[in-house]
Amino acid sequence: MAEPLNITTIEQMEADTARLKETACQVCAETWEDRVKAQTPHCKFGEDGVCCKNCSMGPCRITPKAPRGICGADAHAIAARNYVRTVAAGTSAHSDHAREILHVLHSASRDGNYQIRDELKLIRLAEEWGVPTEGRDIYDIGHEVAELGLEEFGKAFGEMRFPSRATEERQKLWRSEDIWPRAIDREVVTTMHMTHMGNSADAEALIRQGLRTSISNGWGGSMLGTEITDILFGTPTVWTTEGNLGVLEADMVNLVVHGHDPAFSEMLVTACEDRELVEYARSKGAKGINVVGLCCTANEIAMRHGVRMAGNFLQQENVVLTGAVEMMCVDVQCIFPALASLTQCFHTKFVTSSPIARIPGSQYVEFKPETALEQAKMLAREAIDNYENRDASKMYIPPTKQTATVGYPTEQIIKHLDNVTNSHVEVTGSYRPVIDAVKAGVLRGAVAIVGCNNPRVRPDFSHFEIMKELIENDILIVATGCAAQMATKAGLLNKDAKNMCGDGLRRVCELVDIPPILHMGACVDISRMMLLATGIARDWGVDTTQIPVVGCAPEWMSEKAVSIANYVVSTGIDVYLGIEPQVKGSSQMMELITDGTRKITGAGFIINTDPHQLVKNIIDGIEAKRAALGI
């Protein structure tokens, strides 16, 4: 047996939360735990997806006595319409984030606030899109690429570009099934139109539109978000960092960034490195400025700067409850409006920055690329000024933290594989070594574990159990979003975690010098996973649906997650869900999301709310894929 490992258990994390809950009581603040109680039991109609309020004749709710809404829509139509609207909302969120980043690229200049950091990646994308590069200024190329990227949202004719990065088989299938997206905004609008009162009532037609909309996200908005972010801020590299509440420092100015769009957080990181500001913090009695991240913004800056991560989604209130945060700066998505009243119980300043996420009770500083650095410095100064307002009687920082190795985009994975095989030049730049390990059975397969945490289940528990069991069974994990941060908090991104693995995976970790769970980034970076799966399938000579690779969202909660799950299924990859989608009131919808999509894309959802059962389902699924490949 391997030596005992330094792992933070769920019980330890819960003990920290319980201790911080005492502070909440002391300052008379409520937290999500209280609101969960107040909201329980949840509305059954909403849970089952059979409440419609798409017109003012309703709301209509489906019961055995009233099987149709006033217009005659049945449970299947209503559940399907609600569901694909969720896909459209999730697609909007990721894609609008990408649009913002494209505008930042469009305004980037040599002497401006934002520069182009990865010129090679820009050139490669320009060539892919037929943008001339010879003898041109890199900023001219960047601006033209940004314009073309922005056209992906609303072009009047034609279709989207990135889906042609998929395997030949996928592309053919997306065409024959007529789900190749035309433009991002167009698919979202079509979905909203189809679900307007008096339009589609056919659940299957709606599901198909949901798939097409989701592809415009995964092979569109999200992929643009990832590519352009890499071009602007650099393609991530491997960093050793730390995660969990213990990254907050008692004797430093703590500035927390939270959200998703790295344009804001990158600038805050830069501002806080400013020597003058660091000196200013010292003059106020602090040892320096400590920038830490929450949610996906944390993933973005951890992978590019090694910035430490304070935690994932359900940890956002805990961070404030330490009483040690001078300022929390947020951009978009996954921000609890509750932070406004909670921060008011402390000295913490709560700064919102985007017209997309306006929260009453926050200090609103609209963030603009032209004035970004100036604004970031102004905020950092304000955070420093706030240091002296701390109230020691309300302060407690749990010391819990773990070391983590993060930053494995596909480029880094390939690089690590090349290091292993650098004696055989012919395999450089390919996934052959992984494929060989999978074929030999040293690795059984891979699982992408993604998504949020969710109080519908014991938070982080499902992630932990599933990750542990998979690596014990020689299944490699790639992770993004709050799932990746759960792994960080637990210590599973530490290279020593190889000692928890089965013999095969442990050998691979040693040989390639990686942890058994590869941190691939934020939620938009699930597009990286699609390209990883595509690269593996190509080098294998099969389609993405055939390789022993699956997706898993054990504790998902957001609309983005529903859009993601749909584009992963569209890519032919099964998705294992630990939380039920809200369609249970329609037998037809349950059939469509689990088996119906299988007939269209070759993949579907497997749903199980018991994490131990779910992990068995995953292993069975991977073994079935192996058997079908004859390995």
User: Is residue 52 close enough to count as binding ligand SF4 by CB under 6 A?
Assistant: yes
Q: Which is nearer to ligand XCC, 501 or 523 (CB)?
A: 523
Q: What angle do CA 524, 528, 534 make, to 5 degrees?
A: 135
Q: Smallest gap, in angstroms, from Cβ of residue 189 to ligand SF4?
A: 18
Site for ligand SF4 in 56-85 (CB under 6 A): 57-60, 69-71, 73, 78
Residue 79 CB, nearest approach to ligand SF4 (Å): 11
Q: What share of the chain is helix, strand, coil (3-state, %, to 5)?
A: 55, 10, 35
Which residue's CB is nearer to ligand XCC, number 505 or number 532? 532
Instruction: Give min distance, CB of 186 to ligand SF4, in A.
Output: 23
Shortest CB 479 distance to ligand XCC, Å: 10
600 binds, among ligand XCC, ligand SF4, none (CB under 5 to 8 A by kind): none
Decide which of ligand XCC, ligand SF4, none touches 277; Cβ closer than 5 to 8 Å per partner kind: none
Phi, psi of 526 (to 5 degrees): -65, -20
Binding mask 9-48 for ligand XCC (x = CB under 6 A): ----------------------------------------
Minimal distance, residue 538 CB to ligand XCC, in Å = 27
Question: Taking CB under 6 A as the criterion, which residues in 438-457 touch ligand XCC?
Answer: 451-452
Q: Could you tell me how many residues make up the chain?
A: 631
Q: How far is the CB of 207 from ligand XCC (least distance, A)?
A: 22
Residue 367, C-beta contacts closer than 8 angstroms, at least 6 positions apart: 263, 264, 267, 331, 353, 354, 375
The tokens describing 543, both together, are: 């389609």
For the CB of residue 52, give the shortest distance to ligand SF4 in the complex, in Å: 3
Q: Note whether 490 and 588 are within 8 A (CB).
A: no
Nearest residue (CB) to ligand SF4, 197 versus 252: 197
| Position 193 contacts ligand SF4 (CB under 6 A) | no
**Binder to ligand XCC among 50, 334, 435, 531 (CB under 6 A)?**
334
265-304 positions binding ligand SF4, by CB under 6 A: none
Task: Answer yes or no: are the C-beta atoms of 321 and 31 closer than 8 Å.
Answer: yes
Question: Quick one: 52 or 296, whose CB is closer to ligand SF4?
Answer: 52
DSSP state of 521: E
Q: Is the dihedral of CA 75, 91, 222, 365 positive or negative?
A: negative
* Closest distance to ligand SF4 from the beta carbon of 59 (Å): 6
How far apart CA 529 and CA 537 sit, in angstroms, is 12
Q: What is the C-alpha to C-alpha distance for residues 317 and 338, in angstroms, rounded to an integer? A: 8
The residue among 296 and 379 lying less far from ligand XCC, judged by its C-beta, is 296
CB of 615 to ligand XCC, least distance (A): 20
Give the CA distances from residue 444 to residues 213, 358, 449, 547, 568, in Å, rounded to whole numbers and listed in that order: 32, 46, 16, 11, 20
Tokens of 478: 């790639």
Residue 523 touches ligand XCC, criterion: CB under 6 A: yes
Identify which of residues 54 and 241 has a Cβ nearer to ligand XCC in the complex.
Answer: 241
**CA 269 to each of CA 78, 154, 248, 541: distance values in angstroms, whole numbers, following the listed order:** 46, 33, 15, 43
Q: Pick what 57 binds: ligand SF4, ligand XCC, none; C-beta below 5 to 8 Å, kind-dependent.
A: ligand SF4
54 binds ligand SF4 (CB under 6 A): yes
Give the Cα-Cα-Cα angle 329, 334, 339 (nearest 5 degrees): 55
By CB under 6 A, tell whether 87 contacts ligand XCC.
no
Query: Whose Cβ is closer to ligand SF4: residue 197's or residue 340's?
Result: 197
Judged by beta carbon distances under 5 to 8 A according to partner kind, the member of ligand XCC, ligand SF4, none in contact with residue 86 is none
296 binds ligand XCC (CB under 6 A): yes
440 binds, among ligand SF4, ligand XCC, none (CB under 5 to 8 A by kind): none
Task: Identify whether the C-beta of residue 304 lies closer than 8 Å to the C-beta of residue 233.
Answer: yes
Residues touching ligand XCC, count (CB under 6 A): 14
Query: What is the token pair recorded at 516?
Result: 């058994």
Q: Least distance in Å: CB of 204 to ligand SF4?
A: 19
Binds 52: which of ligand XCC, ligand SF4, none (CB < 5-8 Å by kind): ligand SF4
Structure tokens at 365: 């500083």
- Three-state secondary structure call for residue 327: strand
Beta bridge partner(s), residue 551: 448, 575
560 binds ligand XCC (CB under 6 A): yes
Annotate each residue in 204-243 with x if it binds ligand XCC (CB under 6 A) or - if it does not, as one string. ----------------------------------------
Q: What is the per-residue binding string for ligand XCC in 298-317, x denoting contact by CB under 6 A?
A: --------------xx----
Q: How far is residue 577's CA from residue 574's CA, in Å, rounded to a whole number?
A: 10
Binding span for ligand SF4 by CB under 6 A among 46-54, 177-185, 367-375, 533-541 = 46-54
Asked if 486 touches ligand XCC (CB under 6 A), the answer is no
Q: Please spell the DSSP secondary structure of 364-421, one letter per residue.
A: E----GGGHHHHHHHHHHHHHHTGGG--GGG-------EEEEE---HHHHHHHHHHHT
- Which of 27, 148, 197, 629 lies at the binding interface for ligand SF4 (CB under 6 A)? 197
> Per CB under 6 A, does 576 bind ligand XCC?
no
Task: Identify whether the C-beta of residue 349 lies closer than 8 Å to the C-beta of residue 326.
Answer: yes
**Cα distances (Å, whole numbers) of residue 177 to 155, 180, 199, 628:** 21, 8, 21, 24
- What is the DSSP code string of 227-277? HHHHHHH-----EEEEESGGGS-TTSEEEEEESS-HHHHHHHHHHHH-HHH
Residue 315 DSSP label: G
Report what 59 binds from ligand XCC, ligand SF4, none; CB cut-off 5-8 Å by kind.
Answer: ligand SF4
Question: Using CA atoms, how far apart are residues 477 and 568, in angstroms rounded to an integer?
Answer: 16
Binding site for ligand XCC (CB under 6 A): 260, 295-296, 312-313, 334, 451-452, 481-482, 522-523, 558, 560
Give contact residues for ligand SF4 (rule: CB under 6 A).
52-55, 57-60, 69-71, 73, 78, 197
